[in-house]
Amino acid sequence: MSKIKAKILVVDDNSGIRGALQVLLPRHFSDVELISSPNGLLSKMGEFSPDAVLLDMNFHTDINTGNEGLFWLGEIKRSFPSVEVVLFTAYADIQLAVEGMKRGAFDFIVKPWDNDKLVDILTRAAQNHRKVSKGRSASVSSPSTQMLWGHSPRMEQISRTIGKVAPTDATILITGENGTGKDVLASEIHRLSARSGKPMVSVDAGAITETLFESELFGHVKGAFTDAHADKVGKFEMADGGTLFLDEIGNIPLHLQAKLLRVLQNRMVTKVGDTKSIPIDVRLICATNKDLDKMVREGEFREDLYYRINTMRLMLPPLRERTDEISPLAHHFIKRYAQKYGREVTSIEPEAEKMLLSNYWSGNIRELQNTIEKAVILSEGEKITCSDLQLAPMGNTPPLSSVPPVEETLDMAEERAIRSAMERYSGNLSLVAKSLDISRPTLYSKLKKYNI
């Protein structure tokens, strides 16, 4: 039996397992080294330069959470990103294995293992690393994010609106539940704009700490504060000439909203610690899952900032109202993750597809994506099965209300008409007011009245 020219590093604290692998692996691989502890792992990798690491998930007999393995997986991928890691666990924890692969592991194998399967996985991992190292990357990068429109009337209306507003520099506010694809829609707008040749810079506004808000968005100069060891370019300056996407803008604290508003009004940024202002030319797209109208009424969001970012409003409906998109999205994700994880799966069984269509999808497209990713990892054939999906047979559809229907009042009819018009014209207040034959000030009043 010819050996594969590859270096394999095993990290496992069980002497019996190391002994068995010391007999098995050298029959198949040219260089094999085994260590009993992750202490000194990174220096060992620097010396040995392995193609693949077989990493145990637990190194203490009284701890079996797998957190140690996930920690060391992260350390390996941070210092040696091209080295493939195969997770080795005595606990058939599906969720843990899936989480490890999402964090960059090549694959996983459960103890007690099948020799042929272990050798096959390590062989593919080592070969993948060698191809990457030679500049012939075998790892398939995720396909560029694309907008799948479907054929629902609401999505077709949004698509038509995008075709009109994308070429302009109009500021756009995208609203919708978590996971509906607001970031993907923002990317599509940038792609169709005259700024597509310039950068699109995305910022999770809600994840920026208050102390670093100005530094992250506007930049700082060296010495501006204790840890400012060098000049920093802010997100606005990075996006100059292109598009700045501020996600979760509803999470920005009220006192910081004034700083953002000032920049949007003046189109100038001043770095922290500096006195001169820098002109910026950006197209702004914002997104939120919050009810900004309600926040304005309750004094949690500045009204002047709200109208500044709300030139054009697009409301993405939840996936459960776009069921025609579920199957195309599922097949799109199957292709992506089959390539990423080296699986043979190409389609989905009819019964499994029915499960997808009947599910409530409270997490929307992001939940569907995670479900398919997990299913691809678990699949053992060419088709995803119901068991691979790990969904409840009836989905997670909320129970029907037992409350009897209420007779519609005039206010209810008016609210329904306004909401329908807002959806039909994608939040374009001028068109909504015209369709309802009311003035814009009257429409503003009605929107506030009905919390729209």
Give 239-301 as a DSSP string. TTTSEEEEETGGGS-HHHHHHHHHHHHHTEEE-BT--SEEE---EEEEEESS-HHHHHHTTSS
Domain CATH number, residue 383: 1.10.8.60
Question: Residue 203 belongs to what domain range?
Answer: 153-315
In the chain, the amino acid numbered 381 is G
Is 10 found in the same domain as 108? yes
Mean pLDDT of the 237-245 span: 93
Please give the tally of structural domains in the chain: 4
- Does residue 405 form part of some domain? no
Domain CATH number, residue 416: 1.10.10
**33 to each of 48, 60, 136, how far by Cα in Å?**
8, 21, 26
Strand 283-288 with 243-247, pairing: parallel
- Taking the C-alpha atoms of residue 131 and residue 143, their distance in angstroms, rounded to an integer, is 20
Is 187 found in the same domain as 46? no
Taking phi over 0 as left and psi of -120 to 50 as alpha, with beta for the rest, 181 belongs to: left
Angle of the 410-424 helix axis to the 153-165 helix axis, nearest 10: 50
- Does residue 141 form part of some domain? no
Is 207 found in the same domain as 105? no
pLDDT, one tens digit per residue, over 248-268 is 999 999 999 999 999 999 999
Is 326 found in the same domain as 311? no
The Cβ-side half-sphere exposure at 182, using a 13 Å CA radius, reads 29
How would you class 19 by CB atoms within 10 Å of its CB: exposed for 0-12, middle for 13-18, buried for 19 or more? exposed
- Does residue 401 form part of some domain? no
Is 193 found in the same domain as 116? no
In the chain, the amino acid numbered 405 is P
Residue 284 backbone phi and psi in degrees, to 5: -100, 130
Query: Would you place residue 6 in the very low, low, confident or very high pLDDT band (cuts 50, 70, 90)?
Result: very high
In total, the chain counts a number of residues equal to: 452
Mean pLDDT of the 416-429 span: 76
**254 to each of 285, 296, 360, how far by Cα in Å?**
19, 10, 34
Q: What is the pTM of this model?
A: 0.58
Return the pLDDT at 133: 61
- Does residue 250 form part of some domain? yes
- Does residue 142 form part of some domain? no
Residue 367, pLDDT above cutoff 60: yes
- Taking the C-alpha atoms of residue 99 and residue 95, their distance in angstroms, rounded to an integer, is 6
Query: Would you place residue 402 in the very low, low, confident or very high pLDDT band (cuts 50, 70, 90)?
Result: very low
Maximum pairwise Cα distance, the chain? 83
Is 158 found in the same domain as 259? yes
Percent of the chain residues past pLDDT 70, beyond the cut:
88
Token pair for 357:
């269509």
Asked whether the CA dihedral 295, 300, 301, 304 is positive or negative, the reply is positive
Least trusted range by pLDDT, from 57-61, 152-156, 278-282, 393-397: 393-397
Is 366 found in the same domain as 275? no
Is 224 found in the same domain as 267? yes
Query: Would you place residue 393 in the very low, low, confident or very high pLDDT band (cuts 50, 70, 90)?
Result: low
Is 301 found in the same domain as 180? yes
- Does residue 385 form part of some domain? yes
CA 228, 285, 154 angle in degrees (round to 5)?
150
Return the pLDDT at 91: 59
Mean pLDDT of the 404-424 span: 68
Is 310 found in the same domain as 165? yes
- Taking the C-alpha atoms of residue 190 and residue 440, their distance in angstroms, rounded to an integer, is 29
Q: Which of 315, 350, 367 is the last residue of a domain?
A: 315
Residue 99, pLDDT above cutoff 50: yes
Return the pLDDT at 372: 95
